[in-house]
C-alpha cells in the first residue's frame, strides 16, 4: 500500500512539473498558457486589420495626390496653349502657312495609304480570278482598278493645286495690294 501511494504521489508531482513546463513554453494546455494563445491570435488579427487600413489610407492619399497633379498639369498645359495662341496675334487656328502644308501632307499620306490598300485588294482578287479562270470577275476587277487609279490621280492633283494656292496665297494678301496701289498712286 505504501508503494502504491508513493507511486501515485510521484506521478502527480511529475504531471504538475510537465504542466508547469508546458505553461512556461506557451503550450495550449490548462492553466496560465491556455488563454494566451487565443489572446495572441486576436491581437495579431487586430494588428493585421490595422495595417491593412493604414495601407488603404496611404493608397487613397497617393491617388488623390496623383489626381491633383494631373489636374494641375492639364491646367498648365491649357494655359500655355492659350498663351501660345495669344503670341500668334492675328493668326486664327489653322491659318498658318506651315499648319496648312502639314495638314495637306497628312491628307496626302492618308490618301496614298488608302489607295495602296485598295489596289492591293483588287490585285489579289485579280490573281484569284485568273487562277479560277473567271472572265467576268477579271473584267470587273480591271475596271475597278482603272476607276481607283483615276480617283487617286484626281485626288493627288487637287492636293497639289491646294498646296500651290497655299504657297502663293501669302503673296496676294489684301494689305499688300493696297500698299502697291498707294505706291503706284504716289509715283
pLDDT in tens, 9-39: 888 777 778 788 777 776 544 444 455 788 8
Is the Cα torsion angle 49, 53, 58, 60 positive or negative in sign? positive
Please check the confidence at residue 40 and state whether its pLDDT lies above 60. Answer: yes
pLDDT confidence bin for 177, thresholds 50/70/90: low
Closest CA to 141 of 120, 111, 112: 120
Q: What is the DSSP letter of 173?
A: -
Please check the confidence at residue 57 and state whether its pLDDT lies above 70. Answer: yes
Radius of gyration of the chain (CA): 45
What pLDDT does 30 receive? Answer: 47
Average pLDDT over residues 59-78: 80
Enumerate residues 6+ apart whose C-beta is below 8 A from 79: none
What pLDDT does 127 receive? Answer: 95
Total Cβ atoms within 10 A of residue 20: 14
Enumerate residues 6+ apart whose C-beta is below 8 A from 32: 23
Give the residue with greater pLDDT, 140 vs 71.
140
Q: Can you tell me the distance from the alpha carbon of 182 to that of 187, in angstroms, rounded to the nearest whole number?
A: 9
Question: For the whole model, what pTM was predicted?
Answer: 0.41
Please check the confidence at residue 75 and state whether its pLDDT lies above 80. Answer: no
Average pLDDT over residues 73-102: 65
Is the Cα torsion angle 116, 121, 123, 124 positive or negative in sign? positive
Compute the mean pLDDT over every residue in the chain, rounded to the nearest whole number: 78
* 123 close to 94: Cβ distance less than 8 angstroms: no
Give the residue with greater pLDDT, 26 vs 88.
26
Q: Can you tell me the distance from the alpha carbon of 24 to that of 28, in angstroms, rounded to the nearest whole number?
A: 10
pLDDT confidence bin for 170, thresholds 50/70/90: low
* 22 close to 34: Cβ distance less than 8 angstroms: no
Average pLDDT over residues 171-183: 55
pLDDT in tens, 150-167: 999 999 999 999 888 887
Enumerate residues 6+ apart whose C-beta is below 8 A from 167: 97, 101
Q: What are 140's three cell numbers? A: 470587273
Total Cβ atoms within 10 A of residue 138: 15
* 159 close to 107: Cβ distance less than 8 angstroms: yes
Amino acid at each position: 500500500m505504501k508503494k502504491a501511494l508513493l507511486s501515485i504521489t510521484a506521478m502527480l508531482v511529475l504531471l504538475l512539473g510537465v504542466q508547469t513546463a508546458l505553461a512556461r513554453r506557451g503550450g495550449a494546455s490548462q492553466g496560465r498558457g491556455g488563454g494566451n494563445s487565443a489572446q495572441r491570435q486576436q491581437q495579431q488579427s487586430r494588428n493585421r486589420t490595422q495595417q491593412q487600413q493604414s495601407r488603404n489610407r496611404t493608397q487613397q492619399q497617393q491617388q488623390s495626390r496623383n489626381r491633383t497633379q494631373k489636374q494641375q498639369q492639364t491646367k498648365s498645359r491649357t494655359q500655355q496653349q492659350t498663351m501660345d495662341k495669344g503670341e500668334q496675334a492675328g493668326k486664327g487656328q489653322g491659318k498658318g502657312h506651315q499648319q496648312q502644308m502639314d495638314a495637306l501632307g497628312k491628307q496626302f499620306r492618308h490618301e496614298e495609304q488608302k489607295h495602296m490598300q485598295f489596289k492591293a485588294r483588287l490585285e489579289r482578287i485579280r490573281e484569284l480570278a485568273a487562277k479560277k479562270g473567271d472572265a467576268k470577275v477579271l473584267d470587273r476587277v480591271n475596271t475597278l482598278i482603272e476607276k481607283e487609279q483615276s480617283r487617286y490621280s484626281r485626288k493627288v492633283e487637287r492636293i497639289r493645286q491646294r498646296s500651290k494656292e497655299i504657297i502663293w496665297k501669302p503673296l496676294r494678301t489684301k494689305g499688300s495690294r493696297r500698299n502697291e496701289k498707294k505706291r503706284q498712286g504716289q509715283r
